[in-house]
């Protein structure tokens, strides 16, 4: 299979990337890892006038922590997240998710920020970043702006990015010292889309839940934040009852459809069970952090 013809440019600075995008208009697309875009071009589901390849732009491939905030550059591959020591413990939500993205070969090429820009309802990073309350930084002709992932995801395969904007990094806020999370995903085989997946993140304070993030993959037209489930946990003791109630609410927030991966009811059950398991894991890990910091 061949994609249809397109122009191709490889800028070596962010300014050039933005200038090329502005110049080429809305049928230009950014390519980083290309692990979603190239298959779509080959299937001719997507056609582009030009590809602006950002792989040669320096300075976009770092995972860094600064004043507690984590920054994941636009060229950071899933594999780098899988291996990063920064994405464990309090930030294990990200590390746990990274190893479940697609398959090992795709993880060698595909990028976190590319996945966010693609906004596939089946994308893992959308849910992870919602649960982690992350933002992206986008550069465009008018400069850079920070977009919370809640506002970035506008619908299936749709973001609030302007045509000449490019995501340069994802920013994940400091979850606090007594925090943890995890990502649980059910897939029929490695590399398949999720039947359902749940991202959870909790921060404890004096034993109670200070902040909770719960978001879902593959059970709606976009990644879904389970707001009611988060509200049910916030300010309360993370006991059995609270975990069960939050998980019930997370399942209620899901909008799955029946397909060859399972019925809507089944997927909703998976969300409930995975949310419960994820919360237990996250709370236990956050408590261990609480013990350590005493």
Partner 1 sequence: MTDVAAPAATVLTVEATVNGQRREAAVEPRLLLVHFIRETLGLTGTHIGCDTTSCGACAVLLDGVPVKSCTMLAVQAAGSEITTVEGLQQGAELHPIQQAFREEHGLQCGFCTPGMMLTSVALLAENPSPTNEEIRWAISGQICRCTGYQNIVKAVQRAAQAMREA
Q: Under the rule (CB under 8 A), what is the footprint of partner 1? A: 1-8, 10, 31, 34-35, 38-39, 41-43, 51, 53, 55, 102-106, 108-109, 190-191
Min separation Cβ 117 and partner 1, Å:
17
Looking at the Cβ atoms of 10 and 264, the one nearer to partner 1 is 10
Helices (H) and strands (E) in the chain, counts: 11, 14
Question: Which CB sits closer to partner 1, 51 or 222?
Answer: 51
Least distance (Å) from partner 1 to the CB of residue 256?
23
Residue closer to partner 1 (CB basis): 41 or 94:
41
Pick between residue 102 and residue 182 the one whose CB is nearest to partner 1: 102
Task: Tell me phi and psi for residue 25, to 5 degrees.
Answer: 75, -165
Distance of CA 46 to the CA centre of its chain: 22
Please say which residue, 39 or 155, places its beta carbon nearer to partner 1.
39
Reported as half-sphere exposure (CB side, CA atoms, 13 A), residue 58 has a value of 0
48 versus 70: smaller Cβ distance to partner 1 = 48
Shortest Å, Cβ 27 to partner 1: 12
For the CB of residue 107, give the shortest distance to partner 1 in the complex, in Å: 8
Cα separations in angstroms, 12 against 16, 17, 21, 35, 60: 7, 8, 14, 21, 11
The tokens for 162 are 């302007």
Provide φ and ψ at 121, rounded to 5°: -60, -20
Instruction: Quote the least distance from Cβ 144 to partner 1, whole Å.
Output: 26
Q: Provide CB contacts within 8 A for 108, sequence distance 6+.
A: 77, 78, 79
CA geometry: angle at 39 spanning 260 and 20, to 5°? 140
Q: How far is the CB of 87 from partner 1 (least distance, A)?
A: 18
Smallest separation (angstroms) from partner 1 to the CB of 56? 9
CB-wise, 42 or 88, nearer to partner 1? 42
Q: Both tokens of residue 101?
A: 């993205």
The 8 Å CB, 24+ separation contacts for 189-194 are: 190/102, 190/103, 191/102, 191/103, 191/106, 192/261, 193/122, 193/218, 193/261, 194/122, 194/124, 194/218
């Amino acid at each position: 299979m061949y994609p249809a013809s397109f122009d191709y440019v490889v800028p070596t600075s962010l300014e050039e990337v933005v200038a090329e995008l502005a110049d080429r208009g809305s049928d230009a697309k950014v390519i980083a890892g290309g692990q979603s875009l190239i298959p779509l071009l080959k299937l001719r589901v997507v056609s582009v006038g030009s590809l602006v390849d950002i792989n040669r732009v320096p300075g976009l491939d770092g995972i860094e922590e600064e004043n507690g905030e984590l920054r994941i550059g636009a060229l950071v591959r899933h594999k780098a997240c899988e291996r990063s020591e920064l994405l464990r413990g309090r930030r294990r939500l990200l590390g746990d998710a990274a190893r479940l993205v697609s398959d090992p070969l795709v993880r060698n090429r595909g990028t976190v920020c590319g996945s966010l820009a693609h906004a596939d309802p089946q994308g893992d990073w959308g849910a992870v970043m919602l649960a982690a309350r992350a933002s992206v930084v986008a550069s465009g002709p008018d400069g850079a702006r920070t977009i919370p992932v809640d506002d970035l995801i506008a619908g299936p395969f749709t973001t609030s990015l302007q045509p000449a904007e490019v995501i340069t990094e994802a920013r994940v806020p400091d979850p606090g010292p007594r925090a943890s999370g995890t990502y649980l995903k059910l897939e029929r085989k490695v590399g398949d889309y999720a039947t359902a997946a749940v991202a959870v993140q909790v921060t404890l304070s004096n034993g109670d839940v200070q902040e909770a993030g719960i978001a879902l993959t593959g059970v709606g037209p976009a990644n879904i934040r389970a707001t009611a489930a988060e509200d049910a946990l916030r300010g309360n003791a993370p006991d059995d009852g609270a975990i069960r109630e939050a998980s019930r609410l997370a399942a209620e927030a899901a909008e799955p459809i029946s397909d060859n991966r399972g019925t809507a009811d089944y997927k909703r059950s998976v969300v409930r069970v995975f949310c419960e398991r994820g919360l237990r894991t996250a709370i236990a890990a956050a408590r261990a952090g609480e013990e350590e910091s005493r």
